[in-house]
Structure 1
Amino acid sequence: MNLLSEVSDISLDGDIFLADGRKVRKDVIIIADGIRTRFASKIVESTENLRAMATGTVCYRFLVPTDKLLKDPRTRHIFDVEKHGISIAPTGWDHRLVWYPCRGGDLQNFGYFIPDELQGYEDEGLSPIPHR
């Protein structure tokens, strides 16, 4: 199965139906197509009240090619090619940086989590946290 295959439907039995007509079967299906997922109704009875809630935290995510990190003397010393897994670096009381390799180590994924300090902002898909 090509990673760029468009999924048209799934079953809870592990069947994945692709837009080109193929069907594949897997032990686990991870649905990660965002807040407006087409597949939530496969798991919950009603999606009418299914909304994301603001958490008070925002994540800025970015990818960096591993070779760029290795070539730059400012980052080479903190990057261990042999080490695989997740690195979490606290940068403050309520800030943290999560870093892990992807695409077989060709890319490094970074997620920088910080407090969401936007007041009164409401995206069409998010409900603000109720204040108590």
Structure 2
Amino acid sequence: MVMRHEAFLDTIQETGEYVTRQEADQVARVVLALLGAHLVGQVRAELAARLPETFALILLNPLQAAEPLSAERFVRATAAWIEGATEQTALWDVSAVLSVTADAAGHDLTTRILLQLPPGYDLLFGRSRHSPSTS
């Protein structure tokens, strides 16, 4: 089921403790554009289908990644795209957006997303490193 735009942003705003919805929207756009560059095929399409249309389009028309970024470099890249961000604030931003995205995706799709990403993203998605994978 697709999460409504308002509900998605409200949840990101609450999770990330952002003062304004505009701040939550900016962070979501940056993180999902970077994430979209790392996902391919059916997994990316299925995730897009579960996101509000605005964010689905961002995910489907991503920035082009020359190579998969490690989780640490993903956070650094996010910091570079958000004005005034530091690596610590970007880590918070990435975790807020990706944990809400994981909730929208559901357990099985999130597991398949993590399989497409380099190791270390599980914590960014709000998963423990040792969460059992389902096949």
Given the two structures, how large is their TM-score scaled by the length of structure 2? 0.18
Structure index of larger Rg? 1
Greater per-residue helix proportion: 2
Greater per-residue strand proportion: 1
Given the two structures, how large is their TM-score scaled by the length of structure 1? 0.18
